[in-house]
Amino acid sequence: MTCTSPGARLARREERAPFSQQGRLQIGDVIYALNGTVIATPADLGQAADRLEPGTAAVLQVERNGELMFLGFRAERR
């Protein structure tokens, strides 16, 4: 199943990037939503991430290899 929203494709990842029990973001993942906020562009993702308070639970809706999944994590310090 593929989402129709443009999303934000992950082009690079820092080694210290957060991960969850569901896994870690991977290069090529497309992020469609952060805590229910639709992500249509990389700028949308940055703005939504900037609104997260440190320690806040967050959920990303991600497409990886044609499969939709949710990755949960806690926001880190800015």
What's the structural domain count of the chain? 1
pLDDT in tens, the chain (78 residues): 455 568 988 877 666 655 555 567 888 999 999 999 999 999 999 899 889 998 889 999 999 999 999 998 888 765
What pLDDT does residue 37 have? 94
**Structure pTM?**
0.79
CA 49 to chain centre: 9
What pLDDT does residue 12 have? 72
Domain assignment of residue 62, yes or no: yes
Say how far apart CA 14 and CA 32 lie, in whole Å.
20
What is the extent of the structural domain holding 37?
8-74
Domain assignment of residue 2, yes or no: no
Domain assignment of residue 19, yes or no: yes
The domain that contains 23 carries what CATH number? 2.30.42.10
